[in-house]
Amino acid sequence: MKKFFLFASIVFGALSLQAQQNPVSWTFSSKKVGDKQYELHMTATIQKGWHLYSQVQPEDAIAIPTGFKINNNPLLTLEGKIKEEGKMEKFHDAKLELSAHQYSNKVDFVQVVKLKANAKTNVTGMVEFQTCNDEKCLPPKKVNFTIDLN
């Protein structure tokens, strides 16, 4: 019985450590770029050896692409799609016949928004992403955000 509890403690401890592992940190900010027009910057800083996936993946990819959900705000409109600013790596594993579009170190996701009137407001939403290194992939994670527009 003691061996069972020891084994269960080791397994639970290992799972807890993996669940706490977070190789990506996010920062969220805005920058005024014109009259009533702002850029939203959703910046991922990625630990060495880990990768974050692009919003668009090749057909043979199994990685979960990074996705954003921006909540509706009647005071603003989204202008175009979210752009990625960073050095995209096009990975291909011929042995497994898998590909991925990924980023290392840092990537900035930029969404332009336009206010319908001069008003102070904010943008809320959520980013869902997956990270992998050369040995494993972590389960997808969701992060909520709020970005003030001043």
What is the Cβ-side half-sphere exposure of residue 135, based on CA atoms within 13 angstroms? Answer: 2
53 DSSP β-pair partners: 102
Residue 20: per-residue pLDDT:
57
**3-state DSSP assignment of residue 2:** helix
CATH topology for 23-149? Answer: Immunoglobulin-like (2.60.40)
What are the Cα distances from residue 148, in Å, to 32, 69, 128, 139? 11, 16, 20, 29
* DSSP string over 107-134: EEEEEEEEESSS--EEEEEEEEE-EE-S
Per-residue pLDDT of the chain (150 residues; tens, 9 = 90+): 433 333 333 333 334 444 458 999 999 999 999 999 999 999 999 999 999 999 999 998 888 999 999 999 999 999 999 999 999 999 888 877 889 999 999 999 999 999 999 889 999 999 999 999 989 999 999 999 999 997
Distance in angstroms (rounded) separating the CA atoms of residues 129 and 102: 11
Residue 150: per-residue pLDDT:
75
Residue 101: per-residue pLDDT:
95
